[in-house]
Structure 1
Amino acid sequence: MKPAICLVTYDRGQPPDAILAEVVRRLTGSAVRVGGLLQSDDGTAAPGATLFLQDIGSGRRVRIFEERGPAARGCRLASYGLAEAAAWLDAAIETRPEVVFVNRFGREEAAGRGLLSGIATAVVAGLPLVVPLDRTLLTAWDGFAGDVGARLPPNPDGIEAWCRARTVASTFVSGCEEALEGVKGDAPARGA
């Protein structure tokens, strides 16, 4: 079975964080079980803004950028924050939500680190997965997963429709599996 992955492709400098938060709000508002992580900033819109990851299920937030002062250069990613969020993602996947959101397939994931393990775990578990992807990292994604997944623009209606189609399909398949389990015990033995 082909993995159900929705890649939300965006241009650098135009992250889809607010759009994904809106989709999650719509889905949870209609009783769809959503898990995973959303990303947000500190609301300043300034260069070097502080970034946070939020666990969708609990609302917990963790800072993923270090505060190093205005003269600091280089990567500001706070590995301790990313590690904490990775544990939240793993816990969310264990609850088998109807849809999993991962805040990004970014440079850390392209290098085989970050939340890559959680992404792989969700795919192996057969959970529908929504992952934003900066277009500059498409080659890295293809190296990880091949040409797998629907590639959608950051449009809330399109992403929501993709999610709803997967939740309906998964509910249908689960119902069929349960019905078949009930029938198996009633079937006459072969040759009887």
Structure 2
Amino acid sequence: MEAMPIAAVIYPADYNPSPLLADFAQELKAAGVRLVGAVQYDNGPMETCGIEFEVLPTGQRMGLSQDLGAGSNACRLDPNAMADAAALIKQGISAGAQLAIFNKFGAQEAGGDGLRAEMIDAVVAGIPLLTAVPERFTAEWNEFTGGESASLAMTADALRQWWQALNA
């Protein structure tokens, strides 16, 4: 059976898929695979708004959270940083890539925002898509993909096997 070109790691609320996807992206980049998208790095506790993206393929890192100031115990997505990341990703899609990796199909994407349009652009350009989806957004993910996606285990081996099957 042929591998599906759209795949997601479906994960529970207590799991952080960021290191899995970031490590996989680094592994593929080292092997010479042309990537596009964005992977997330958590540079400290969420209370300190330590969320950073690496935009693929540029390698540029950017903070995506706005610090809401003293007394706040939350962060807010920085719309300007998200727009900058989206523009770089669109350029990468136009340049061509072998794989699109997006840190997650989360609340923003489930609601029609975030990097949802860039995910669509990658698929329309014929670039396979890999992401992570919180269990609570499984219905929105299935609607987004029309139910046409592979569900992968939360392991590096599962990601490698899917990638190898795509390229067999």
User: What TM-score do the two structures reach when normalised by structure 2?
Assistant: 0.89
Q: Distance in 2 between matches of 1:131 and 1:26?
A: 16
Q: Secondary structure at the match of 1:76?
A: strand
Residue deviations 1:81-126 (CA, integer Å, cap 9, x gap): 1111111211111122111111211111111111111111111112
Q: Distance in 1 between matches of 2:165 and 2:97?
A: 15
Trace 1:79-98 onto structure 2 (pairs within 5 A). Answer: 79-98=79-98
Larger proportion of strand: 2
Gaps of 5+ in 2: none
Q: Residues 6 and 128 of structure 2 are in contact (CA less than 8 Å); yes or no, is this contact kept in structure 1?
A: yes
TM-fit CA distance, 1:57: 1.7
Aligned 8 A contact 1:110 1:140 in 2? yes
Which position in structure 2 is the counterpart of 1:145?
145
Structure 1 residues not aligned, in runs of 5+: 170-192
Matched-pair contact (CA < 8 Å) for 2:7–2:129: yes
Of the structure 1 ranges 21-30 and 79-88, higher mean CA displacement relative to structure 2 is found in 21-30
Deviation, 1:68, is 1.2
CA distance, structure 2, for counterparts of residue 153 and residue 48 of structure 1: 30
Q: Secondary structure at the residue paired with 2:58? A: coil
Q: CA deviation at 1:73?
A: 6.2
Query: Which of structures 1 and 2 has the bigger CA Rg?
Result: 1
1:13/1:58 CA distance change after superposition, 3 Å: same
- SS at structure 2 position matched to 1:127: coil
Distance 1:164 1:96, change over 3 A: farther
With normalisation by structure 1, the TM-score equals: 0.78
4+ runs deviating over 4 angstroms: none
- Cα distance in 2 between the residues matched to 1:46 and 1:81: 17
In 2, the alpha carbon distance for the partners of 1:124 and 1:7 equals: 17
Is the CA contact 1:3–1:123 (under 8 Å) kept in the aligned structure 2? Answer: no
Contact kept? 2:46, 2:74, Cα under 8 Å: no
Q: Is the 8 A contact 1:62 1:81 kept in 2?
A: yes
Q: Name the CA distance, whole Å, in 1 between partners of 2:83 and 2:94.
A: 17
Residues in 2 aligned to 1:112 and 1:15: alpha-carbon distance in whole angstroms: 22
What does residue 66 of structure 1 align with? 66
Partner of 1:179: none
The equivalent residue for 1:52 is 52
* Count of matched residue pairs: 166
Matches of 2:53 and 2:109, distance apart in 1: 15
